[in-house]
């Protein structure tokens, strides 16, 4: 019998798996259980588990904008120049030098990662190394862009082993892009010490590696300045590097999509050529960035009262995460007689739990506790009211699992 040939032009479209983080979040939203707990995606929830409130500093900035904003005309392709300058100072500190840095406002940190990856692939290199556990969107972006990737050992057998990590990096060929996170490593929560960063910087310099930082948690790890110290250390040592920056978490403006990219070079002669490439990539992807979020961020960075208020709100959020890390590590340790101090010592929103796939599914299906398939939990979604339920659920699936 003759087979019917579909006339649809979409008949052969391949399905792409759901996003490892947002896909789970969709499952969570559809779950009818009232007591379900979402520890999947990285948002800093309120003490009562509700969605993150808008910072008072952001609200006040918006009120000010409502009164003073005169136009919604296009921004330049690279974005609001003052926003870029202020973000440049915020991230790079004394190394923000307009003649040797190309900066652009981006649609969150993800667009910065994508634009920079496109730029690297088109002009510089198509090989990259990223940590064996990483934010799942990192490999997705490299794959989309066509950058070949390998994983360097970062988190092995429940710990970070610097020597192993360093040995691996030292064997990478010249011009390999090395993706790094300066603080609050997603998903492990384990960062390098400044001394270790220094060694990595010198290695990158010696071996001609290309440092590519994803900085998404400035202010939520150890504090605003400390969280970007690794980037500044690279620059202090004369390295060239690329940086993707996000304000999603630090200003709690997730849905507003406001970030930036920076390309830091040695030679000012390269600047115009780099800038022209970045502008062309932005123009052909989203033309130019949205204005509102950058205007808000600019006020938080420059208005003395709003700046002070924002930093206070940010620090309160950081301290809440620190408390939750401590409490979870203590409670789990006490119940399971396993050392969870790595959670306590960790930094930023996330930690990894060593759970099997079936344990992670049991957490979700039996206990309505959602964590990612890597075993990542978002500490910033824990609070005094849900922590007991989370500990109970973890203890119940933990029985028989390998101690860390």
In the complex, the residues that contact ligand LMR under the rule CB under 6 A are: 21, 41-42, 135, 137, 186
Residue 102 or 379 having the CB closest to ligand LMR: 379
CB of 31 to ligand LMR, least distance (A): 18
Residue with Cβ nearer ligand LMR (137 or 293)? 137
Closest to ligand LMR by CB, 169 vs 244, is 244
The residue whose Cβ lies closest to ligand LMR is 42
Q: How far apart are the C-alpha atoms of 184 and 227, rounded to whole Å?
A: 8
Q: What is the DSSP letter of 191?
A: -
Rounded to 5°, the CA angle 369-371-375 comes to 130
Token pair recorded at residue 391: 């500990």
289 near 282, Cβ under 8 Å? Answer: yes
Count of Cβ atoms closer than 10 Å to residue 233 Cβ? 17
Closest approach, Cβ 197 to ligand LMR, in A, equals 22
Per annotation, catalytic residue among 60, 121, 249, 298: 249
From 191, 214, 227, 291, active-site residue? 214
Task: Give me the catalytic one of 60, 121, 135, 227.
Answer: 135
Residue nearer to ligand LMR on the CB measure, 249 or 320: 249
Question: Closest by alpha carbon to 310, among 84, 80, 54?
Answer: 54
> Least distance from C-beta 42 to ligand LMR, angstroms?
3
Shortest distance, position 283 Cβ to ligand LMR, whole Å: 24
Between CA 182 and CA 192, with CA 187 as vertex, the angle to 5 degrees is 35
305 noted as active-site residue: no
Q: How far is the CB of 186 from ligand LMR (least distance, A)?
A: 5
Q: What is the dihedral of CA 227, 230, 232, 237, to 10 degrees?
A: 170
Query: If you write DSSP's letter for every residue of 114-154 in order, what string do you get?
Result: HHHHHHHHHHT-SEEEEESS--THHHHHHHHHT-EEEEE--
Q: How far apart are CA 266 and CA 246, in angstroms?
A: 24
* 227 assigned to active site: no
107 contacts 289 by C-beta, under 8 angstroms: yes
DSSP state, residue 105: E
Taking the complex as a whole, the smallest distance from the CB of residue 182 to ligand LMR amounts, in Å, to 15
Please check whether residue 189 is in contact with residue 343, taking contact to mean a CB–CB distance below 8 angstroms.
yes
What are the CA-CA distances from residue 97 to residues 93, 101, 271 (Å)? 9, 6, 11
Specify the pairing of strand 259-264 against strand 101-106: antiparallel
135 is known as an active-site residue? yes
Q: Provide the minimum distance between the beta carbon of 76 and ligand LMR in the complex, in angstroms, as a whole number.
A: 26
| CA atoms within a 13 Å half-sphere pointing along the CA-CB vector of 387 | 17
- The smaller minimum CB distance to ligand LMR, of residues 30 and 255, is found at 255
Residue among 210, 140, 226 at smallest CA distance from 174? 210
Which of 184, 386 has the CB closer to ligand LMR? 184
Q: Which is nearer to ligand LMR, 24 or 102 (CB)?
A: 24
Give the catalytic positions in this structure.
Answer: 135, 214, 249
């Amino acid at each position: 019998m003759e087979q019917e040939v579909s006339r649809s032009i979409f008949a052969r479209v391949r399905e792409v798996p759901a996003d490892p983080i947002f896909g789970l979040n969709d499952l969570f939203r559809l779950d009818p259980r009232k007591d379900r707990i979402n520890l999947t995606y990285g948002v800093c929830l309120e003490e009562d588990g509700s969605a993150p409130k808008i910072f008072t500093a952001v609200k006040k900035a918006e009120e000010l904008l409502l009164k003073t904003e005169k136009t919604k005309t296009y921004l330049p392709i690279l974005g609001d120049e003052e926003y870029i300058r202020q973000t440049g100072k915020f991230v790079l500190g004394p190394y923000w030098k307009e003649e040797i840095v190309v900066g652009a406002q981006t649609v969150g940190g993800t667009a910065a990662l994508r634009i920079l990856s496109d730029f690297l692939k088109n002009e510089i290199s198509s090989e990259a190394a990223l940590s064996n556990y990483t934010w799942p969107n990192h490999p997705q972006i490299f794959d989309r862009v066509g950058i070949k990737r390998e994983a360097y050992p970062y988190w092995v057998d429940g710990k970070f082993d610097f020597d192993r990590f360093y040995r691996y990096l030292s064997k990478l060929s010249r011009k390999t892009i090395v993706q790094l996170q300066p603080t609050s490593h997603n998903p492990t929560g384990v960062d390098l010490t400044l001394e270790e960063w220094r060694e990595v910087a010198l290695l990158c310099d010696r071996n001609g590696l290309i440092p590519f930082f994803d900085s998404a948690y400035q202010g939520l790890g150890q504090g605003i300045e400390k969280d970007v110290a690794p980037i500044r250390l690279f620059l202090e040592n004369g390295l060239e590097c690329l940086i993707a920056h996000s304000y999603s978490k630090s200003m709690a403006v997730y849905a507003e999509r406001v970030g930036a990219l920076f390309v830091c070079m040695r030679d000012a002669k390269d600047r115009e050529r780099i800038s022209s490439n970045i502008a062309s990539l932005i123009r052909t992807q989203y033309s130019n960035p949205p204005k509102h979020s950058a205007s808000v961020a600019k006020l938080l960075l420059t208005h003395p009262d709003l700046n002070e208020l924002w930093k206070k709100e940010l620090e309160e959020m950081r301290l809440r995460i620190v408390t939750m890390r401590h409490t979870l590590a203590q409670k789990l340790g006490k119940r399971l007689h396993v050392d969870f101090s790595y959670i306590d010592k960790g930094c930023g929103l996330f930690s990894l739990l060593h759970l099997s796939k079936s344990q992670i599914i049991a957490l979700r299906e039996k206990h309505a506790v959602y964590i990612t398939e890597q075993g990542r939990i978002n500490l910033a979604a824990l609070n005094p009211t849900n922590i007991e339920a989370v500990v109970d659920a973890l203890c119940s699936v933990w029985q028989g699992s390998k101690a860390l």
